[in-house]
Structure formats: structure tokens, C-alpha cells
Amino acid sequence: MILAGIGAGLAAIGAGLGIGKIGGSAMDAIARQPEAASKIQTAMIIAAALIEGVALFAVVVALIAK
């Protein structure tokens, strides 16, 4: 049970780091090209959603595999 908690925690930490990296990179890109903000924001939201999906899947697998 402890290992399942550790696995779920690692998945959550990885997702947080990934979304933070995407957000920071998107802000840098928007600062460089403000006219492309809507396209950058759309791509950022899609990427963040995919990361959240993978993180949720990892948490479920970690808790089921106990």
C-alpha cells in the first residue's frame, strides 16, 4: 500500500513539473510573439490536458496494482 502511495505521488509530481514547464515555455513564447498568443495558448491547453490524462492513468494504475 505504501508503494502505491509513492507511485501515485510520483505521478502527481511529474504532472505538476510537466505542466509548470509547459506554462513557463508558453509565457516565454507569448512574450516573444504576442500576436501568436491564441495559437500558443491552444497548444498549451491541449498539452496540459494530455499530461493530466497520463497522470490520472498513472495514479489509477498505481492504486489498482497495490
Q: How many CB atoms are closer than 10 A to CB 11?
A: 19
pLDDT in tens, 2-41: 888 898 999 999 999 999 999 999 999 999 999 999 999 9
pLDDT of res. 50:
96
**Which DSSP letter does residue 65 get?**
T
User: Which range among 7-11, 47-51, 62-66 shows the weakest confidence by mean pLDDT?
Assistant: 62-66
pLDDT of res. 66:
65
Supply the pTM of this predicted model. 0.82
Task: Say how far apart CA 66 and CA 44 lie, in whole Å.
Answer: 33
Q: Give the class (CATH, top level) of 2-64.
A: mainly alpha
Task: Say how far apart CA 58 and CA 32 lie, in whole Å.
Answer: 35
**Which DSSP letter does residue 10 get?**
H
